[in-house]
Chains A and B, each alone.
Chain A
Amino acid sequence: MTTLDGLAQGLEVALQPSVLIYSLLGAVLGTLVGVLPGIGAMAAITLLLPITYYISSQAALVMLAAVYYGAQYGGAVASILLRLPGTPQSAVTTLDGYPMAQQGRAGVALFTAMISSFAGSMLGIVILVVLAGWLGQLATSFGAAEYTAMMVMGLVAASTIGEGRPAKSLAMVVLGLLLGCVGTDVNSGAQRFTFGQVQLMDGINLVALAMGLFGLAEVIGNIRKAERDGPPPRVSLRQLVPARDDVRRLFAPITRGTLLGGFFGALPGTGSTISSFLSYAMERRVARRPERFGKGAIEGIAGPEAANNSASITAFVPTLTLGIPGDPIMALMLGALVIHGIQPGPMMLEANPDMFWGLVVSFGIGNLFLLILNLPLIGIWVAMLRIPFRWLYPAIIVFVCLGVYSVRGSTFDIVMVAGIGAIGYALSVAAFSPALLLLGFVLGPLIETNLRRALLISRGDPMIFLERPVACAFVIATLALLALPLVGMIRARRAARA
């Protein structure tokens, strides 16, 4: 099938009223949670996960994706006006966005963020289509050994590249892998760690785990943190109009940011947050006068905003073509697909082309909608910034309870969410990453199955991972990623001694 045919089919899917409505709804909800203090895209997607049981798989995925990229738009608003990033991806935007707002150029900063997000997304879609086709082709030759090695590499990359001590991150991944073992073992039928509880036979519910780790833990941590003093500045539509000079300075940073984000978004383990930081560093390096950065340089908004939006689109590449989520949000997307009985992977482009192309086209429609919607609605979003978190969180808690309950009508699951939430909050206070735990949880059963299969094929010879060139490359990359923090530690120690 050619790209053009695919796009035509995707347009048909994405313009179905039932899909279109959920796409627009997701985009608005995403912007809202991005703007609102104390709730991020992760928590919002988690809260919406139970709804996806009741709608078509296309509508479900399109909606969740729209929440994700919508939150990128909304996150920038809080970053620029209050120096409080609504989402981690928009943290960099505070660096130059907030100074611009203080200089009375909040409108221009907001316009820059939105137009850069839009351009980044649109170009990201092109990268997604190209990479997905290419990777899908490549992945058809992958066997169990390649999949195992690639997933392990993804988990190690996510642990060592992100922030925090690598040992703590790896421990969360392993804990997640172990939690993934709970329930009936698909290969032998054995009951593992169920302790005779019927409710645990299907394993720990993904919705319950995600709600506890993200919904609850975030709420607890934010009740006091999200109390704000002082109202944000007022912004009118007229202030959004940039000067010609501003517009001229946007093109290069947006292009660089998009390419950077598109690349890193598609890699497992790195994601939109890292690419926005990298883009900021890059813009400062190539700038003729780097001292302007941090004092309201428009390039410092354009690059990172384009990068994180582009990355959030290309993050779908490994999820859809390999069935391997690169970050926890993608893990939830994968979960939503699996709920509907669709196993993403190299065959998906062949078996469910409507799903892939529908999603691609919906990205375009959703982003266009966000651009058109958000410019005139900016006043409303700014007003939303004034809502105190204490008005919201009691309702969020009730929604969490009902969301979990609605999955299979079990109050046991609500109690389990409470327990997971308590542990999740304690872990996050001690700077352990609950996101990595979720990633391990989702990938655990996949890794175990593929590992078993690979070793069965090789008759128990672990050399299969080194004999097959692609698998071997993944193994070498994994070892290099593990060695990276060690090298850093040795250097730091030498420097301390000298």
Chain B
Amino acid sequence: MPGPISGPTPDWHDLAWGAVLALTGLAVAGYAALHYEFGTLRRMGPGFFPVVLGLGLAGLGLLIAIPALNRPGQVRPFAWAQAVGVIGSLLVFGLLLDRIGLMASTALSVAISSAVAPRGGLLWRALLTLAVTALVWLLFIAGLNLSIPVWPWSR
């Protein structure tokens, strides 16, 4: 297996995530301290656990970010297209399911997610869309009889 490739200093991944986690921790601890009762050790309030954990997360965030400042990072490829395609496909399905029904949202979702596949032509994508939509109908409507709007007009 190929080893990790050294990238630029600082280690941007750890630096950025360390900072994000530290800020998240502080925000959570602050919000919990203001809104929920902290209580005492003897009677912990609902705020106790989040405040302590939030501060812990802030500390760990710093522990991640500070050493990353003068240390070379690794080149880690981020599959942007694939991430956008998959997340987009999910969002479309989730937001449209109630409006256009199962069949149409499945087809749309498959069309979007298969668009980011590294290989395969337009015909393959069209066939895959048809096949998955048919499979979903067979499994979930004919088979499991899921109560869900099926067609755009069946509401």
Contacts and interface: CB of A to CB of B under 8 A. Distances in A.
Nearest to B42: A460
8 contacts: A171-B57, A178-B50, A193-B31, A393-B113, A394-B114, A397-B109, A401-B93, A401-B97
Interface residues of A, number: 60
A277 to B, nearest CB: 14
Interface in A453-469: 455-456, 459-462
Interface string A397-418: 1101110011000011011011
Contacts of B16: 430
A390 B119 contact: yes
B86 A455 contact: no
Contacts of B89: 394, 397
B79 A185 contact: no
A405 B45 CA distance: 34
Interface stretch (A162-170, A303-311, A378-386): A162-170
B39 to A, nearest CB: 9
A248 to B, nearest CB: 32
B97 to A, nearest CB: 5
Contacts of B5: none
A108 to B, nearest CB: 24
A174 B94 CA distance: 29
B36 A460 contact: no
Contacts, number: 171
Given A397-B86, A425-B83, A171 B41 contact: no
A418 B25 CA distance: 23
B148 interface: yes
A342 interface: no
A405 B109 contact: no
B22 to A, nearest CB: 9
Contacts of A214: none
Contacts of A432: 17
Contact of A174 (B17, B60, B120): B60
Contacts of B120: 390
A427 B17 CA distance: 8
B136 A223 contact: no
Given A223-B117, A395-B135, A401-B93, A192 B110 contact: no
For B63, B86, B120, the residue with the greatest tally of chain A CB atoms inside 10 Å of its CB is B86
Given A398-B109, A418-B94, 13 more contacts: A178-B57, A190-B37, A216-B87, A219-B86, A220-B83, A220-B86, A224-B79, A393-B113, A398-B93, A414-B90, A430-B76, A431-B74, A460-B40
Given A178-B54, A421-B86, A192 B46 contact: yes
Contact of A391 (B87, B128, B136, B146): B128
B21 interface: yes
A165 B94 contact: no
Contacts of A168: 14, 17, 64
Nearest to B24: A175
For B31, B40, B87, B91, the residue with the greatest tally of chain A CB atoms inside 10 Å of its CB is B87
A21 interface: no
B128 A394 contact: yes
Report whether over half of chain A's contact residues are helix, strand or loop; otherwise say mixed. helix
Contact of A181 (B14, B50, B86): B50
Contacts of B97: 401, 405, 411, 414
A455 B40 CA distance: 10
A422 interface: yes
B21 A459 contact: no
Interface in B1-57: 13-14, 16-17, 21, 24-25, 28, 31-32, 36-37, 40-46, 49-50, 53-54, 56-57
B49 A448 contact: yes
Given A223-B116, A390-B120, A421-B86, A460 B94 contact: no
Contacts of A100: none
Contacts of A400: 90
For A177, A221, A398, A421, the residue with the greatest tally of chain B CB atoms inside 10 Å of its CB is A398
A429 B128 CA distance: 29
A221 to B, nearest CB: 7
A216 B64 contact: no
Q: Which 7 A-B pairs have the closest CB atoms?
A: A460-B42, A414-B94, A190-B46, A460-B41, A390-B117, A418-B90, A430-B13
A415 B79 contact: no
Given A398-B132, A455-B41, A456-B42, A192 B50 contact: yes
